[in-house]
Amino acid sequence: METTAPTRLVELFPAEISEQLGLPAFQGKQIFRWIHAKKVSDFDAMTDLPKALRQRLHEECVAHGVELVEMQTCARTGTKKALLRLGDGESVECVLIRDRDRITLCVSSQVGCALQCDFCATGLAGFTRNLSPGEIAAQALVLLKDEDLGERTPNIVYMGMGEPMRNYDNVVRSIRLLMSPEGLGIGARKITVSTAGEIKRIEDMAREDWQVRLSVSLHAANNPLRSRLVPLNRKYPLERLHETLRSYQAISGRQITFEWTLLREVNDQLQHARELMDYCRGLRVSVNLIPWNPVEDLPYETSTREACVAFAETLNKRGIKTTLRQERGQDIDAACGQLRRTKGSLA
């Protein structure tokens, strides 16, 4: 005899909770607030709910069904990386990054990744499945559980494991859950979705009724090199990506960020900076430079500090706003491209 899977409440908006459980609207809001705003997953702790309702929730539902397996904290910067086990036994990682009084959460959208970018550790484990909207939102709730944010809200970047645009519908719903004023209430402009260049979904995102930001993992501005580093470029070469990004900006009016992971003597030379400057023409963009961190089994080296600074200065002098990111999670393998599953434990 088949048993009914418990209702995963983190997936549902307040009205949906009320409808599915046959509850008054105010109780749907109460449950949603407990899970999202107060980050409580224990029904017994939801003290303003009647005891009979709490018992029913125990019997029929789970708050989010995501288990924290391990949390690593960088002693120097306070960056935290969490390993989470999902209901089917799969696992994902997510990161909380501190920068003075600013907190940024880096969340995953898939278990593994199918894109196989040449310098990225996440793809080494292959692709297993998409995450549900609640599994994505729950990462933020777990990371923030012990954080005292006061009146602030965190930034959210969809730059963890996976290609968000290949899980588009679930990513969109998770964003709307995180934006809900009954929950975390995160403003759209504090949320960024990263893509390696999924053209059709960039077009879809341009038509969304929000100000969520778009980031493109570029890493090279000539086709031979980018096709080597980002195999998706073979399907959607730079010329087509540029055309799509121009259309995106014409429709949405929003700026784009280019992510560029610096690899020693691969894409960190002045000629590469000049190619990037040329590619930025006709677009309103900023550039985020990310020094690469060594990953076992990958044939790359970290760029020198001098090369990183020279690259950034070249772009800034041409009026392209460029940030050279300071890595904040090296000692816990939380840097860009280093989120990967390794036998159920943190990399």
Domain ranges of the chain: 7-62, 67-332
Q: How many helices (H) and strands (E) does the chain have?
A: 10, 14
**HEC letters along 46-96:** CCCCCHHHHHHHHHHEECCCCEEEEEEECCCCCCEEEEEECCCCCEEEEEE
Residues 305-331: what's their mean pLDDT?
Answer: 88
Distance in angstroms between the alpha carbons of the first and the last residue of the chain: 40
Structure confidence at residue 101 (pLDDT) = 84
Q: Does domain 7-62 have CATH number 3.40.47.10?
A: no
- Interatomic CA distance for residues 66 and 230, integer angstroms: 31
Residues 233-258: what's their mean pLDDT?
Answer: 98
Residue 4 has pLDDT above 90, yes or no: no
Phi, psi of 144 (to 5 degrees): -95, -5
Count of other CB atoms within 10 angstroms of residue 224: 9
Structure confidence at residue 338 (pLDDT) = 53
The rounded Cα 310 to chain-centroid distance in angstroms is: 29
Residue 284 CB-half CA count within 13 A: 10
Q: Strand, coil or helix: what is 244?
A: helix
Which amino acid is located at 231 in the chain?
A: P
The C-alpha angle with vertex 148 and arms to 37 and 40, in degrees rounded to 5, equals 35
Residue 342 has pLDDT above 90, yes or no: no
pLDDT digits (tens, 9 = 90+) for 177-204: 999 999 999 999 999 999 999 999 999 9
Q: Is 71 within 8 Å of 82 (Cβ atoms)?
A: yes
Of the candidates 279, 286, 284, the residue with the CA atom closest to the CA atom of residue 312? 286
| Token pair in block for residue 69 | 């397996």
Q: Strand, coil or helix: what is 195?
A: strand
The DSSP code for 103 is: E
Hey, what CATH topology would domain 67-332 get?
TIM Barrel (3.20.20)
Structure confidence at residue 331 (pLDDT) = 53
Residues 153-179: what's their mean pLDDT?
Answer: 97
Scanning the structure block, which residue is given the tokens 């960190």? 268
pLDDT digits (tens, 9 = 90+) for 81-125: 999 999 999 999 999 999 888 999 999 999 999 999 999 988 887
The 3-state DSSP composition of the chain as helix, strand, coil percent (nearest 5) reads: 40, 20, 40
- Interatomic CA distance for residues 202 and 205, integer angstroms: 5
Structure confidence at residue 339 (pLDDT) = 55
Residue 335 has pLDDT above 90, yes or no: no
CB-based contacts of 156, cutoff 8 Å, min separation 6: 104, 105, 107, 140, 175, 178, 186, 190, 191, 192
| Token pair in block for residue 269 | 């030379």
- Interatomic CA distance for residues 253 and 206, integer angstroms: 9
- Interatomic CA distance for residues 248 and 236, integer angstroms: 15
Give 342 or 320, the one with higher predicted confidence.
320
Residue 346 has pLDDT above 80, yes or no: no
Which residues are the active-site residues?
A: 93, 336
Q: Is 233 within 8 Å of 197 (Cβ atoms)?
A: yes
- Interatomic CA distance for residues 308 and 138, integer angstroms: 35
